[in-house]
């Protein structure tokens, strides 16, 4: 009797999942972006959400749930109903380095989520204010060596990429800088423009209009090769200052664990259809964004990538002695 009851409960749950997957998406879908609006994660998410929304025939809303380097929004997403209507836009920080940085994290990047698809990667740019005395990374490093702890780097929160890359940069350059946390790159960038902080690493896509508009100056790149189209005359850190230094932020979409596989597949297929639009993807490359192979965008490959990154960052965080919260 007990077995029959258990089997019917399992059967009902399976039927509910099946019917959910068949009718999905019947309403608006939400993607949680765990940073302030106007930053790189938000900009990229909105761009992709709009294109994917057209493919699935429903609006994809961006919900900004900022704070603690993305971990607040990630926790919210991990706890959401796995019904195919709430997703997380995740990145290298809170979904890769997070477990090594936070003593208590209320989600596991691998075990609490289904990986849906990976976005293209974005290299970073070392930025200073328009009136900064630092014309190059060499100038900045020399100033930091002469005044330990006096150069302030703005960043998007502990575990954000702007924090991680600044910490790696300081560790490789053997300098002591002060890191100042914000709820996203956009507010950090405002303070950089206002001169409240001295420097910041931001992703190429959102740094570009500020640099082109003369509101900020780019003094180095984290890509191995120069980006003459986007940042003419700006040298990669790897070129002379820090040989081998390379960084790019990876992003992607995750669903709470238990989201029907069919929904994950449909979302991934919609993304791949959107990515077939060359005019759009060329606009991304024009912002310095790196496209990946189709295989790298797939859910399985993205799940493996996430797991490998969590392991990678344990060593990177320990070796670079990145501050733990």
Query: Which spans of this chain sit near ligand MLT (rule: CB under 6 A)?
Result: 35-36, 39-42, 93, 156, 160-162, 184-186, 203
Beta bridge partners of 236: 221
Distance CA 39, CA 85 (A): 23
For 3, counting Cβ atoms within 10 Å of its Cβ (0-12 exposed, 13-18 middle, 19+ buried), the class is exposed
Q: What is the closest distance, in whole angstroms, from the C-beta atom of residue 254 to ligand MLT in the complex?
A: 16
CA distance 156 to 97: 14
Q: Which is nearer to ligand MLT, 156 or 241 (CB)?
A: 156
* Tokens, residue 126: 């070392």
Nearer to ligand MLT, 68 or 263 (CB): 68
Shortest spacing between CB 214 and ligand MLT, in angstroms: 21
CA distance 21 to 196: 50
What Rg do the C-alpha atoms of the chain give, in angstroms? 21
| Least distance from ligand MLT to the Cβ atom of residue 37, Å | 9
In the bound state with ligand MLT, the residue whose beta carbon lies nearer, of 62 and 307, is 62
- Closer residue to ligand MLT, CB minimum distance, 24 or 153: 153
Least separation in angstroms between CB 156 and ligand MLT: 3
**Cβ-based nearer residue to ligand MLT, 46 or 51:** 46
- CB-based contacts of 156, cutoff 8 Å, min separation 6: 35, 39, 69, 70, 162, 163, 181, 182, 183, 184, 185, 188
> How near is the Cβ of 40 to ligand MLT at its closest, in Å?
4
Q: How far apart are CA 148 and CA 166, in angstroms?
A: 15
Least distance to ligand MLT, CB of residue 65, Å: 12
The residue among 17 and 162 lying less far from ligand MLT, judged by its C-beta, is 162
Q: Which residue is nearest to ligand MLT (CB)?
A: 39
């Amino acid at each position: 009797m007990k077995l029959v009851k258990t089997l019917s409960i399992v059967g009902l749950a399976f039927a509910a999942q099946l019917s959910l997957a068949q009718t999905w998406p019947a309403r608006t879908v939400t993607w949680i972006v765990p940073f302030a609006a106007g930053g790189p994660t938000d900009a990229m998410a909105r761009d992709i959400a709009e294109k994917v929304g057209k493919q699935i025939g429903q609006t994809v809303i961006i919900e900004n749930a900022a704070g603690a380097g993305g971990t607040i929004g990630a926790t919210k997403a991990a706890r959401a109903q796995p019904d195919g209507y709430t997703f997380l836009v995740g990145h290298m920080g809170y979904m890769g380095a997070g477990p090594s940085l936070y003593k208590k994290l209320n989600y596991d990047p691998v075990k609490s989520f289904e990986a849906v698809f990976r976005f293209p990667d974005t290299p970073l740019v070392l930025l200073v204010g328009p009136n900064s005395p630092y014309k190059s990374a060499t100038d900045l490093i020399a100033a930091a060596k002469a005044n330990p702890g006096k150069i302030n780097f703005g960043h998007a929160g502990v575990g954000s990429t702007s924090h991680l890359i600044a910490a790696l940069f300081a560790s490789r350059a053997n300098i002591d800088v002060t890191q100042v946390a914000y709820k996203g790159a956009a507010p950090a960038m405002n303070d950089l423009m206002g001169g409240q902080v001295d420097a910041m690493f931001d992703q190429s896509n959102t740094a570009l209009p500020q640099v082109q508009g003369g509101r900020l100056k780019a003094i180095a790149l984290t890509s191995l090769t120069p980006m003459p189209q986007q940042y003419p005359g700006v040298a990669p850190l790897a070129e002379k200052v820090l040989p081998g230094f390379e960084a790019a932020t990876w992003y992607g979409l995750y669903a709470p664990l238990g989201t029907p596989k069919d929904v994950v597949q449909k979302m991934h297929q919609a993304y791949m259809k959107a990515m077939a639009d060359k005019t759009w993807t060329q606009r991304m490359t024009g912002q310095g964004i790196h496209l990946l192979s189709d295989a790298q965008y797939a859910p399985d490959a993205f799940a493996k990538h996430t797991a490998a990154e969590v392991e990678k960052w344990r060593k990177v965080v320990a070796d670079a002695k990145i501050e733990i919260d």
